[in-house]
Amino acid sequence: MNIKKGDRLKIECYKHNGYLDRTSDEATVIYVDQNVLIVANNHTKLTEHDGKSHTTNEPAVLFFYKKKWYNIIGQLKKNGLFYYCNIATPYIIDGLTIKYIDYDLDLRVFPDGGFKILDRNEYRYHKKIMHYTKELDMIIENSLQELIELKKRGEGPFKPNVVNEYFNKFKEIEKSKEEIDW
């Protein structure tokens, strides 16, 4: 299926062992090419593996890559732009669903530019019990370093105003859909 601007997709996040870890109800396609899929949502429902769900508190712009082992979420919070970056497989599209495998390690970037690596213990635990190969471990560690360098250089989604520009495009798409739905 060809995904195009304005399409609404679901997101499914899996673990290495194939278990569905988290789902997101809705994301609107803002941009897509052979390398990247950019979607956005606002106050969307997230359902965790235990069945509990909650609604996100803020709008977000999500960057998924075809050849990169991470995805990046720009969160437009009241107190600034935060990023939550997942070390994860490149995405695939299955019907109207974005799917990827999450490998626990995350990079949290704060509005002041500072950042923190999250969930190292969870990664080590899953690496042991799910028997990640040395090759997979190397891909994951290299991807984390690539992501940190991308952030330090202020490139890609970390480039000033990129997230806001895509969020404005999202609002335009949503507004045009509302006008059509009358």
Instruction: Return the active site residues.
Output: 22
How deeply is 2 buried, as exposed, middle or buried, from its count of CB atoms within 10 A (0-12, 13-18, 19+)? exposed
SS3 content of the chain, % helix, strand, coil (to 5): 30, 45, 30
The amino acid sitting at 94 is D
How far is residue 91's CA from residue 139's CA, in Å, rounded to a whole number?
15
